[in-house]
Structures are given as C-alpha cells and as structure tokens.
C-alpha cells in the first residue's frame, strides 16, 4: 500500500467523479483508476461502485476512507513535526470559522502568521459549527472556531476563546431618542435586516425575542453580516450583529450602536481541534498563539 493510492482514493471519495479526482491529483484518469484497483486488490475488498461512471463507495469503502484520511493526516503531521524541528513550522493551516467570528479570527491569523512566517493559512468563514466539527473529524480542516453550546465534541479538544455579545446597530435617525440599553420591543419595531433563519446568530436572536413574547419579522434577510452592515449604512435599516464585527473596523458612518436589554444575548466561542496524539503541529501552534487573545 502506498500513500499515493490512499491520496487517489480520498480524492475520489471527495470529488465523487473519476475525472475530477484525477485532475485534483494531477494524474490521468486511467492512472488514478488503476491505482485504486491495486489498492482494492491489496486490501481484498471492493472500495468503489463502478458503472459507466462513478456510482459511489461500497460499504467497505465508506468505512476505509476514514482510515485513509487518518493515515494521510498522520503522515502530514509527521512531516510538519520533522520540518519544525529542523527549520520552524511550514505547510498550510486549514481553518474553518463561523461567520460571526470572522473578524476575531482575522486577528488570530495575523498573530499566528507573524509568529510562523513560513506557514500559509487558508480560512473558510462561511461554515456552521456542526459542519466544522465534521470536517475536522474527516481531516479536511485542521482547526475551527465554533459556537460552543450544545455541540457533540467527542474526540475533539476545545479551548474557550471568548463570550460573543450582540448589539443593535442602526442609522442615527432611527435611534435618535432611543435609550441604551434598548428595549427588545422597541428594537424589533425598527425596519430590521437580519441573517437567514437557521444561521446561528439569527437563531439566538429569535430565541431571545421569544423570551420576551416577541416574534422577529425582518423586512430583509441576508446570509452575510457585511451585507447587513452595508444596509445599515444607508440609514434606513437596523440590524443585530456580533460585537466582534467592530473589533477591526468601525460601524458604518452615521450609525449608532446600543446594547439590548436582558436577557443578555451571547454565545460562547471556542477553538476546536482533534484530540489525542499525534496531533496536528499546526493546530497545536495556533492554539498556543491565541491564548493572549482569549479576552473579548
């Protein structure tokens, strides 16, 4: 069995298409297919359902692809560890982030890159917490920043970073006489633009409003906080967003930011990575770097 065979098998499981998998591995399709056939022969089990096109993995393939990912991840961890002993950390850190933590993670990534100048960082900031955990378990991400409330974290190690707080931001004309903190009923009477239902920040807003016997009915929904802030900047909209969005940039011009009355709207945010040894040396290095940044 060769690492190359496992790489081809994992690529096929990810792409679910022989030609795309071959392209991702920079080999011809016949070469990829033959390598996987040899792997099946060595293991003594079929891995792939074949017809005129890729039809999926066999039950054996579904189980063994997890082992293949683990073996390749351990190989990468070994190579990074050896390289770090020789000349410092190198390679690529794959970081998944929930949208609300994107600006805080920018500060983390900046500090990490300053400390480890030979490491590349690839950030995906449009993921949900459960998806991040799943991709860490499948060794597709090295580390994630998630909302730590009610998640199944078996086999993972969490480091609490901070407690996210949410605030109301709106044009000054909409909030000219509003108190700080503002009453929920008064806040929700404004022309609201919020994230889509099902996104974690929106769910927390709906839950907090329900505690006051209120229903959230925004006139406009979006899947991006940046879009919400652009709308707020017109002076005609209000939004409830994570306070950390303003940790690297000021709120839009001619707007005002106010707190919301109790219940305090917040969510714990944590850094998550695979537990156990051998651990990803890059994920471990990031966890060490963010310790000074764990205060909101």
Question: What does the alpha-carbon distance between residue 264 and residue 208 come to, in Å, rounded to a whole number?
Answer: 8
Question: What does the alpha-carbon distance between residue 114 and residue 92 come to, in Å, rounded to a whole number?
Answer: 15
- Domains of the chain, first to last: 3-71 (1.10.10.10), 88-162+268-293 (3.40.190.10), 163-267 (3.40.190.290)
Count of other CB atoms within 10 angstroms of residue 288? 12
Give per-residue pLDDT as tens, 84-108: 655 677 888 999 998 878 888 888 8
The percent of residues in the chain predicted with pLDDT above 70, rounded, is 93
- pLDDT attached to residue 72: 83
Phi, psi angle pair for 221, to nearest 5°:
-125, 150
**Residue stretches of the chain with pLDDT short of 70:** 52, 81, 84-87, 263-264, 277-279, 291-296
Question: What does the alpha-carbon distance between residue 194 and residue 216 come to, in Å, rounded to a whole number?
Answer: 9
Two tokens at 248? 């690297």
Residue ranges with strand state E in the chain: 48-50, 54-57, 91-97, 119-124, 143-147, 156-171, 193-195, 220-222, 238-242, 255-258, 266-274
């Amino acid at each position: 069995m060769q690492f190359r065979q496992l790489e081809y098998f994992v690529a096929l499981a990810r792409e679910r298409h022989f030609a795309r998998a071959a392209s991702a591995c920079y080999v011809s399709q016949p070469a990829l297919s033959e390598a996987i056939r040899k792997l099946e022969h060595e293991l003594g089990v079929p891995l792939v359902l074949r017809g005129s096109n890729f039809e999926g993995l066999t039950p054996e393939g579904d189980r063994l692809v997890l082992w293949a990912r683990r073996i390749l991840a351990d190989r990468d961890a070994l190579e990074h560890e050896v390289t770090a002993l020789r000349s410092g950390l190198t390679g690529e850190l794959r970081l998944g982030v929930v949208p609300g933590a994107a600006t805080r993670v920018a500060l983390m990534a900046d500090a990490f890159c300053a400390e480890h100048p030979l490491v590349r960082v690839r950030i995906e900031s449009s993921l949900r917490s459960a998806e991040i955990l799943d991709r860490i378990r499948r060794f597709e991400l090295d580390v994630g920043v998630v909302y730590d409330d009610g998640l199944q974290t078996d086999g993972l190690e969490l480091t609490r970073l901070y407690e996210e707080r949410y605030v109301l931001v709106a044009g000054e004309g909409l909030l000219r006489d509003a108190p700080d903190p503002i009453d929920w009923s008064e806040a929700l009477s404004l022309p609201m633009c919020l994230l889509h239902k099902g996104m974690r920040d929106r769910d927390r807003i709906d839950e907090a409003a329900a505690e006051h016997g209120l229903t959230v009915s925004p006139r406009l929904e979006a899947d991006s906080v940046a879009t919400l802030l652009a709308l707020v900047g017109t002076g005609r909209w209000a939004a409830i967003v994570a306070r950390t969005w303003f940790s690297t940039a000021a709120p839009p011009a001619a707007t005002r930011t106010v707190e919301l009355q109790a219940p305090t709207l917040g969510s714990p945010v944590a850094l998550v990575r695979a537990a156990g040894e051998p651990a990803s040396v890059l994920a471990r290095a990031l966890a060490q770097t963010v310790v000074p940044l764990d205060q909101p």
